[in-house]
Structure 1
Amino acid sequence: MKKFYFLGSLLIAGVVIAWKQSSERPADIPGKEKGRSQIYFCSPSFDPAKVKDDDGPLFKGLGNLHFTVSTKNKKAQQYFNQGLTLVYAFNHGEAGRSFSTALKLDPTLAMGYWGLAMVLGPNYNAPLNPSKLEDINAAMDKAIQYAPNASAKEQALIHALAKRFPRQEVKDVSPYTAAYAAAMKEVYEKFPDDADVLALYADALMNEHPWNFWLKDGTAQPWTAQVIGVLEKALAKFPNHPGINHSYIHAIEGAPHPEKGLVSAKRLEKLIPAAGHLVHMPSHIYIRTGDYHQGVLVNEWSTDADSTYVAQCKVEGVYPLMYYPHNIHFLAACAFFEGNSKKAIDAAWMVSRKADKRYILENATVQHYYMIPFYVMVQMAKWDDILRQPAPGESLKYPLAVWHYARGMAFGAKGKLHEAEQELASLKKIAGEESLKSLLIWETNSAAELVNIAVNVLTAEIAMHKSKYEEAIEHFKKAIAIEDALMYQEPPDWFFSVRQSLGHVLLLAKKFEEAENVYKEDLKMYRENGWSLMGLYQSLVGQGKENEAKEVKKRFDKAWAHADISINSSRKY
């Protein structure tokens, strides 16, 4: 589960957001394609300096979701609708601002307090932060106080949410999470035809097992069928609900049949155009179905939207720190898979620039964002560019390890094997650091695991350059074993599939049949990616399977339609 405890100081007095003056301006999108107009969220007259912390603007482009709450104030109703939409869009900070503004307009609005407790509590990407319990319970107490004036549905939602939070910090919150899910089931049974009740019930179920619905071999977890069942029933009734489509993509993205999420993906492209994270979400499906170019496009659109939002609205907090760079990170991944080196590299550097250095010492995800250019430069064989980069600080063990890994790869490719071995020695030394085990990227996979992959990959590369193919194969397989054991994450925490390198050395060793199997395995996870299609083509040619090879070459040509580089194996180097 992904944790943002280090951002607890940004959650002040029950309002989740800090609007501050910022020097940031809309960032240039790498090679942005035409056909999508930029959306401006804040009205031109909006002046953050003249607005209190609980005064939020009403944004354009957030759709028309309406959840009737018990208030006579039309503006309060509008702000509640906006807050709930933003909850579904995972912009919890801005949602908190909307709920707070609704309460300023109507202090007796029970569901406004429900909304504050919701955004201060756990979500699919963040567990309960114990330091927020006082604010959460204060909000829930107010919600319960004013609940008698609310509708039966509102009362049911308020009393269900009250079960989600302990009064004081506890070691294990799972009983509270389960109690909330059970309570939401009862709410759903009372209001089975309400779109938001269905969305919130599904969300409650998903938060019992976030990011844990499918095993690596595609087997569903015991609880997955219930979640999928609720969501598919909800989609049948309410196909254009943003929260339901968002949750369905997360529930299905790790499945062996991710194409089931394509309809939701296509809907979310344009459903809520001002919510950058929702615009980005289709790429969680596209990267699994091989629709890499569409993944590039939606992440360009989402980055466009979020860069405008962050700059014009002067916003800080979790959203610009984590979610905004995530879109650009995904753009780099999709561009890589379609062979667009310029977009991949430009996006990688953009991610690095967005890594907030104020948090880099304490947060592995920020460190990971910071080093994405090195992973991409290795894949694109930018050896001179790698060797020109200065070393990260000694205290940044994970970035320093990636730096040594990339330099080792560069020296190896240049035939400077002595220098490559020196970088490997430095990399191995860092790999032994215990501190790497506690550095978790999105609180999912440890830096230690990634560094161990790097050690084995660089060891294999050096062996390969010495024509010691069996040794290289052995270490690539060790790296794959670690890679396969990583928890599901998109984009993958290891940039990118080690199977593409294993297949390459198998081709060099003329083990064409084994290479064919490796590439087919890679194409199960990353469908129709041109890198493995080219490798598969070469493996078939090596076996004299000319007819099969011709068909694969056609698939490669289609996959490489937007590429700006040529390859003759599954790697650029």
Structure 2
Amino acid sequence: MRLLMAAALFGAAALYGQENHSHQVHTVAGLGTVNFPVSCNAAAQAKFRRGVALLHSFGYEEAAGSFLEASAADPSCGMAHWGVAMTYYHQIWAPPTPEELKKGSAAAALATRTSAKTERERDYIAALAIYYHDADNTPHLARAVAYREAMKGLHDKYPKDDEAAIFYALAIRGTADEADKTFALQKQAGAILQEVLPRNQNHPGVAHYLIHCYDYPPLAGLALPAARSYAEIAPDAPHALHMPTHIFTRLGLWDESIDSNLASAASAKKRVAKMHPGAASFDELHADDYLVYAWLQRAKDDRALGILKEMRAMSKVDDPQFAAAYAFMAAPARYALERRDWKAAAALQVSPEWFPWKSFPYAEAILHFGRALGCARTGDVAASENEIAKLGELKRLAPKKPYDWAAQVEIQEAAARAWLALAKGEQAQARAMARSAADLEDRTEKHPVTPGPVLPARELLADMLMETGAPAEALAEYRAALQVAPRRFRSLAGAAQAAEQTGDRSTAKRFYAELVELTKGATAPRPELAQANTFLAQK
């Protein structure tokens, strides 16, 4: 380590790479191991390492505190300000808010002014400065791509600096187009992470970013080892306890998702009680969103309802950002829609009223989607039309870049219009609209924060085909939906019922049996389960 620091102090990139080959790592209690030497004093280095470990688990607020402590311990530590600036650039989540951009730009400028002692450190600082440069006039995505290319140069210059590789992989993943079904950039980032993985088995960023790279139906299985190790690597990070459930949700591993999100929510509660007494944690809400989804698949509706009651009792949030907005809107909508409680869906309300909903039109759209479906399914055509009109307004307000939220609202609008058409007796048009919505959803991809569509459009198409007397076509669509979202209660039940109606008792038996197995210990008297048990009891 002393040789490594000496190399850094003299800016000798070659010697840095030579010494890094020995891969001296430092374990940060409860947060994993990192290998990021900087030319700051020992006290500052310890704080810096903790900040980096937290950064890799998206513990941004706490990471900023550690970096500021590093700066206080060594005012000449330019990388401490780099760390602070990094905490305002949430590459996977969303572009910085104007306030975050202001703070991040100030920290990046301070990092540049605090002359770092090594060329490598100056390169890290210069790369990040590119992202914050001319932020008022240059779009987020253009700056993110410029930062990615700067990190490529840094990675090429220091090929044995695994942190450079890991941060470069994150930059690649952060600029991936979610609509690109080749997943080219995701695979590129994943390959870099897989290359450094053997040397970084306990690194929080490697496991974390592999999950993000492979959080897609065709790739999710590749991330299962990372998903099952990440929580053990960083057990003190609420996000690390939650993040594996992205993969568990993709694969329909509901019990693993439930266990992980319960742990994440508990950890988030403990942390927010120390940092923001009296507030709820957005990390807790994010876990709650996934918990409600998973409990509903297991037909444990009472547990899902318990989560909703906890959410309704919240009076403020530590960080009113998108993950919180999405959870507040999606969880109650799921509770109504997954259970086919159309009356409850039609009566969904904005909650909580104190949340800054104007900043999140794409989250608010979930409410109106649920209402539109509920009204259409209960025959209130006029009310459904009003809700669909509101979806159109929100679609125009929703951003198209860097993530195309407008397209997601358009899918909801199209699916709702299909059910409205059916309510009006326009069967042919309704089917065509439902198929169009499903095809559009197939061409897009969920936002990395969300567990999935509130109701999949292809599943809704299958439902419509069942209701309009086309069970064979419906079975094909349910099967297609299950390829994307395996072990979903509604799709399994629908597939079983469709197969039964076509006379394919063997297929019906298989789907009914899977549904019964999925819902062992169910606490809800779902009619689909009664039908499954009746069918399976027949000789």
Give the structure-2-normalised TM-score. Answer: 0.78
Structure 1 residues 104, 357: closer, same or farther in 2, change over 3 A? closer
Does the 8 A contact of 2:347 with 2:371 survive in 1? no
From 485, 488, 507, the equivalent of 1:548 is: 507
How far off its partner does 1:507 sit? 3.2
Indicate whether 1:421 and 2:421 are aligned.
no
Q: In the alignment, what sits opposite 2:19? A: none
Q: In the alignment, what sits opposite 2:4? A: none
> Residue 456 of structure 1 aligns to which amino acid in structure 2?
R
The two structures, once aligned, show a CA RMSD in angstroms of 3.8
Structure with bigger helix share is 2
Q: In the alignment, what sits opposite 1:15? A: none
Distance in 1 (alpha carbons) for counterparts of 2:297 and 2:82:
43
Structure 1 residues 461, 172: closer, same or farther in 2, change over 3 A? same
From 145, 154, 159, the equivalent of 1:187 is: 154
How far off its partner does 1:495 sit? 1.0
> Residue 494 of structure 2 aligns to which amino acid in structure 1?
G
Unaligned runs of 5+ in 1: 1-58
How far off its partner does 1:280 sit? 0.6
> Residue 102 of structure 1 aligns to which amino acid in structure 2?
A
Q: In the alignment, what sits opposite 1:462? A: 423
> Residue 113 of structure 1 aligns to which amino acid in structure 2?
H
Structure 1 residues 450, 357: closer, same or farther in 2, change over 3 A? farther
Alignment of 1:329-340 (within 5 A): 329-340=289-300
1:200-242 Cα offsets, whole Å, 9 max, x none, are: 1212222333xx2563xx4334x34422221221223322211
Q: In the alignment, what sits opposite 1:120? A: 88
Structure 1 residues 566, 471: closer, same or farther in 2, change over 3 A? farther
From 17, 20, 37, the equivalent of 1:68 is: 37
From 166, 169, 175, the equivalent of 1:202 is: 169
Indicate whether 1:473 and 2:440 are aligned.
no
Does the 8 A contact of 1:424 with 1:458 survive in 2? no
Alignment of 1:179-258 (within 5 A): 179-209=146-176, 212=177, 215=180, 218-221=181-184, 223-258=185-220
1:385-443 Cα offsets, whole Å, 9 max, x none, are: 567766778x9788887666656655676xx63xx22322332443453x542145996
SS at match of 1:270: helix
Does the 8 A contact of 2:438 with 2:458 survive in 1? yes
How far off its partner does 1:174 sit? 4.9
SS at match of 1:120: coil
Alignment of 1:63-462 (within 5 A): 63-65=32-34, 67-74=36-43, 76-121=44-89, 123-128=91-96, 135-136=103-104, 138-150=106-118, 153-166=120-133, 169-172=136-139, 174=141, 176-209=143-176, 212=177, 215=180, 218-221=181-184, 223-314=185-276, 322-351=282-311, 354=314, 356=316, 366=325, 369-370=328-329, 372-382=331-341, 406=370, 417=379, 420-433=380-393, 435-439=394-398, 444-446=404-406, 448-449=409-410, 452-453=413-414, 455-456=416-417, 458-459=419-420, 462=423
From 490, 496, 506, the equivalent of 1:537 is: 496
Distance in 2 (alpha carbons) for counterparts of 1:412 and 1:445:
24
Does the 8 A contact of 1:535 with 1:570 survive in 2? no
SS at match of 1:374: helix
Distance in 1 (alpha carbons) for counterparts of 2:508 and 2:52:
52
Distance in 1 (alpha carbons) for counterparts of 2:489 and 2:42:
56
Distance in 1 (alpha carbons) for counterparts of 2:129 and 2:202:
29
Give the structure-1-normalised TM-score. Answer: 0.74
How far off its partner does 1:508 sit? 4.1
How far off its partner does 1:92 sit? 1.5
From 521, 531, 546, the equivalent of 2:480 is: 521
Count of residue pairs brought into register by the alignment: 495
Does the 8 A contact of 2:281 with 2:317 survive in 1? no
* More divergent stretch after superposition (398-407 vs 560-569): 398-407
> Residue 239 of structure 2 aligns to which amino acid in structure 1?
H
> Residue 72 of structure 2 aligns to which amino acid in structure 1?
K
Unaligned runs of 5+ in 2: 1-27, 532-539
**Larger RCO (CA under 8 A, 6+ residues apart):** 1
1:143-187 Cα offsets, whole Å, 9 max, x none, are: 34554534x543442343333331563223555434433332333
Does the 8 A contact of 2:496 with 2:508 survive in 1? yes
SS at match of 2:233: coil
Structure 1 residues 79, 558: closer, same or farther in 2, change over 3 A? same
Distance in 2 (alpha carbons) for counterparts of 1:560 and 1:213:
32
Does the 8 A contact of 1:246 with 1:278 survive in 2? yes
| Percentage of identical aligned residues | 22
* More divergent stretch after superposition (115-124 vs 259-268): 115-124
Distance in 2 (alpha carbons) for counterparts of 1:335 and 1:199:
34
1:63-112 Cα offsets, whole Å, 9 max, x none, are: 344533323343x2222111111111112122111101111121111221
How far off its partner does 1:367 sit? 6.9
Indicate whether 1:504 and 2:463 are aligned.
yes
Q: In the alignment, what sits opposite 1:43? A: none
Structure 1 residues 195, 292: closer, same or farther in 2, change over 3 A? same
> Residue 257 of structure 1 aligns to which amino acid in structure 2?
L
Distance in 1 (alpha carbons) for counterparts of 2:374 and 2:101:
50
Does the 8 A contact of 1:532 with 1:570 survive in 2? no
Does the 8 A contact of 2:372 with 2:416 survive in 1? no
Distance in 2 (alpha carbons) for counterparts of 1:359 and 1:113:
22
SS at match of 2:385: helix
1:306-359 Cα offsets, whole Å, 9 max, x none, are: 011112222799xx6644422211112222233322233333454555585899
Does the 8 A contact of 1:365 with 1:440 survive in 2? no
How far off its partner does 1:275 sit? 0.8
How far off its partner does 1:259 sit? 0.5
